[in-house]
Amino acid sequence: MKRVGVLVSGRGSNLQALLDACTGDFPARVACVVSNIAGVYALERATLAGVPALVCSHRGKERSAYDAELRAILEANGVDIVCLAGFMRVLGPGFLAGWPVINVHPALLPAFPGLHGAGQALAYGVTQAGATVHLVDEGTDTGPILGQATVPVLDDDTEDSLAARILPFEHRLFVQALRQVAEGRVEVVGRRARIALRTGEERWMR
């Protein structure tokens, strides 16, 4: 059973999807939830689920020092896998080394990385938007992709309405990717991920 540390900065709907999934025969459990901002609703979600809810503020700290402090908290909680569920900080190589870090993003990467993926999609005028789950590397939303889902952009969409329709796909992809990583079915080859399917076949992600 893999132990998961979830990093959050906000309300935590993707965290809730992981908390709901990590039961029964699911191969992972949420060991702790850490926020860089005190008082966010994600911490309440963790507490309600009986999961340690911790705060590690980034304010006034150099990135490397903050990364080291955050890593020490996760290691103290026996974490094997890290999930970024709306965590609004860039993590450096010292933090990323030695364990898989999974992120979910509200856009079809490599298009529209960074903030406001749905808003960027609308501004660009695309007809399809969506969600991506990927492994985190040192870039901004540039790591190997584990899964994607598309959502049509409607004529009357706003950033909020499009983001709301993307969100359920984020939840599903996040849980799916965590299962694959926890079961040891993901291998990174170069810049791409190779996923062993339960049928015995393999799937290469770009």
Count CB-CB contacts under 10 A for residue 108: 21
Q: Which pLDDT score, from 0 to 100, does residue 198 have?
A: 65
Q: Which pLDDT score, from 0 to 100, does residue 196 have?
A: 83
Q: Are residues 164 and 70 in the same domain?
A: no
What mean pLDDT do residues 3-9 have? 98
Q: How confident is the model at residue 200 (pLDDT cuts 50, 70, 90)?
A: low
Q: How confident is the model at residue 201 (pLDDT cuts 50, 70, 90)?
A: low
Q: Are residues 25 and 95 in the same domain?
A: yes
Q: What is the pTM of this model?
A: 0.93
Q: Are residues 125 and 65 in the same domain?
A: no
Cα–Cα distance for residue pair 16/38, rounded to 1 Å? 18
Q: Are residues 203 and 131 in the same domain?
A: yes
Number of structural domains in the chain: 2
- pLDDT of residue 202 exceeding 80, the answer is no
Q: Are residues 128 and 176 in the same domain?
A: yes
Q: Which pLDDT score, from 0 to 100, does residue 193 have?
A: 85
Residues facing residue 204 across a β-bridge: 194
Q: Are residues 40 and 113 in the same domain?
A: no
Q: Are residues 118 and 44 in the same domain?
A: no
Which of 30, 65, 99 is the endpoint of a domain? 99
Q: Are residues 85 and 115 in the same domain?
A: no
Q: Say if residues 73 and 34 touch (Cβ distance below 8 Å).
A: yes
- pLDDT of residue 189 exceeding 70, the answer is yes
Range of the domain at 201: 103-206
CATH number at residue 38: 3.40.50.170
Q: Active-site positions?
A: 105
Which of 83, 99, 115 is the endpoint of a domain? 99
Structure tokens at 142: 């540039």
What mean pLDDT do residues 83-103 have? 95
Q: Which pLDDT score, from 0 to 100, does residue 194 have?
A: 83
Q: Are residues 189 and 155 in the same domain?
A: yes
Count CB-CB contacts under 10 A for residue 196: 15
Residues facing residue 82 across a β-bridge: 5, 101
Q: Which pLDDT score, from 0 to 100, does residue 191 have?
A: 79
Q: Are residues 3 and 52 in the same domain?
A: yes
Q: Are residues 92 and 17 in the same domain?
A: yes
What is the DSSP secondary-structure string of the chain?
-EEEEEEESS--HHHHHHHHHSSTT-SEEEEEEEESSTT-HHHHHHHHTT--EEE---TT--HHHHHHHHHHHHHHTT-SEEEEES--S---HHHHTTS-EEEEESS-TTSS-SS-HHHHHHHHT-SEEEEEEEE--SSSS-SPEEEEEEEEPPTT--HHHHHHHHHHHHHHHHHHHHHHHHTT-EEEETTEEEEE-TTS-EEEE-
Q: Which pLDDT score, from 0 to 100, does residue 199 have?
A: 59
Q: Are residues 70 and 112 in the same domain?
A: no
Which of 99, 131, 149 is the endpoint of a domain? 99
